[in-house]
């Protein structure tokens, strides 16, 4: 289904899910699905209300906290996003995503050391979580830890070789490692995979070759 079709279909899907929630008001799954569709429709306040209903039904609902945190992050409500992800950590045996989310929040708040710590925890809990490696590389670059950045960026590409951002961040790490030819190659891969490569970065690499 194409995106235009999906958008046209959202009102019908919402109507059906709203009816389902009225039919089974204690169903976490029904409220959760409705929240996700509200989010897709840009109805963030309604999505938050539905996720809070999930939590009221079961205050150990990790998925509800994760998605609530994601919406708060999108709205720029970083403290609320942080609190939601910390709640998720209390109620999950798979904490990698919550740690990765907290890392991103810490980066946005300018607390880079805490971001590195959170991303590192995420990679320990799930070594195959590519976004944690990719963002860890970015945080290490910000900190000037270029060897660590390169190692993390390489791991991100290894875990998910078709992830455009992984190749872009590896290109950045390679640039700081002064391996300009490989940086150019990785940037080309990122662009081929659809990443919006910064033309100024391309020019900077070209000037070093």
- Could you read off the pLDDT of 132-154 as tens digits, one per residue? 999 999 999 999 999 999 999 99
**What pLDDT score does 209 carry?**
87
**What pLDDT score does 10 carry?**
86
**What pLDDT score does 93 carry?**
86
- Could you read off the pLDDT of 178-194 as tens digits, one per residue? 999 999 999 999 999 99
Cβ atoms of 146 and 177 within 8 Å: the answer is yes
Mention every residue, 6+ apart, whose C-beta is less than 8 A from residue 85.
65, 66, 69, 98, 101, 102, 105
């Amino acid at each position: 289904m194409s995106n235009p079709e999906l958008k046209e279909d959202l009102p019908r899907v919402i109507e059906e899910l709203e009816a389902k929630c009225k039919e089974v008001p204690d169903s976490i799954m029904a409220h959760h699905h409705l929240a996700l569709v509200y989010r897709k429709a840009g109805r963030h306040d309604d999505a938050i209300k539905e996720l809070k209903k999930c939590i009221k039904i079961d205050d150990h609902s990790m998925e509800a906290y994760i998605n609530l945190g994601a919406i708060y992050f999108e709205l720029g409500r970083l403290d609320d996003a942080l609190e939601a992800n910390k709640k998720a950590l209390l109620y999950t045996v798979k904490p990698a995503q919550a740690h990765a989310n907290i890392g991103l929040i810490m980066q946005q708040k300018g607390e880079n050391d805490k971001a590195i710590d959170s991303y590192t925890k995420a990679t320990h809990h799930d070594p195959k979580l590519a976004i944690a490696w990719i963002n860890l590389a970015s945080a290490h670059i910000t900190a000037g830890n270029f060897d660590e950045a390169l190692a993390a960026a390489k791991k991100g590409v290894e875990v998910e070789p078709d992830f455009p951002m992984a190749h872009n961040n590896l290109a950045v790490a390679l640039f700081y490692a002064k391996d300009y030819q490989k940086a150019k190659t990785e940037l080309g891969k990122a662009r081929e995979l659809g990443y919006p490569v910064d033309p100024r970065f391309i020019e900077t690499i070209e000037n070093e070759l």
